[in-house]
Amino acid sequence: MGFPLIGETGHWLLQGSGFQSSRREKYGNVFKTHLLGRPLIRVTGAENVRKILMGEHHLVSTEWPRSTRMLLGPNTVSNSIGDIHRNKRKVFSKIFSHEALESYLPKIQLVIQDTLRAWSSHPEAINVYQEAQKLTFRMAIRVLLGFSIPEEDLGHLFEVYQQFVENVFSLPVDLPFSGYRRGIQARQILQKGLEKAIREKLQCTQGKDYSDALDLLIESSKEHGKEMTMQELKDGTLELIFAAYATTASASTSLIMQLLKHPTVLEKLREELRAHGILHSGGCPCEGTLRLDMLSGLRYLDCVIKEVMRLFTPISGGYRTVLQTFELDGFQIPKGWSVMYSIRDTQDTAPVFKDVNVFDPDRFSQARSEDKDGRFHYLPFGGGVRTCLGKHLAKLFLKVLAVELASTSRFELATRTFPRITLVPVLHPVDGLSVKFFGLDSNQNKILPETEAMLSATV
Q: How far apart are CA 58 and CA 5, in angstroms?
A: 30
DSSP state letter for 417:
S
Contacts 24+ apart (CB under 8 A), 20-23: 20/44, 20/316, 20/342, 20/344, 20/345, 21/345, 21/348
CB 349 within 8 A of CB 342: no
CB 34 within 8 A of CB 27: no
3-state secondary structure (DSSP) of residue 24: helix
Q: How far apart are CA 266 and CA 442, in angstroms?
A: 18
Q: List CB contacts of 177: < 8 A, sequence separation 6 or more.
A: none
- DSSP letters of 346-405? HHHT-TTSSSTTS--GGGGSTTT-GGGS-GGG--TT--GGG--TTHHHHHHHHHHHHHHH
Of 217, 256, 209, the residue nearest 236 (C-alpha) = 217
Contacts 24+ apart (CB under 8 A), 388-395: 388/243, 389/77, 389/89, 389/92, 389/93, 389/95, 389/96, 389/243, 390/95, 390/96, 390/243, 390/244, 392/96, 392/101, 393/96, 393/101, 393/104, 393/244, 394/244, 394/247, 394/248, 394/251, 395/305
Of 85, 75, 95, 90, the residue nearest 217 (C-alpha) = 95
Q: How far apart are CA 52 and CA 386, in angstroms?
A: 11
Known binder of ligand: residue 284?
Answer: no
Q: How far apart are CA 198 and CA 196, in angstroms?
A: 6
Q: How far apart are CA 322 and CA 52, in angstroms?
A: 9
Sort strands 434-439 and 126-127 into parallel, antiparallel or unpaired.
antiparallel
The annotation places the binding site for heme at 388
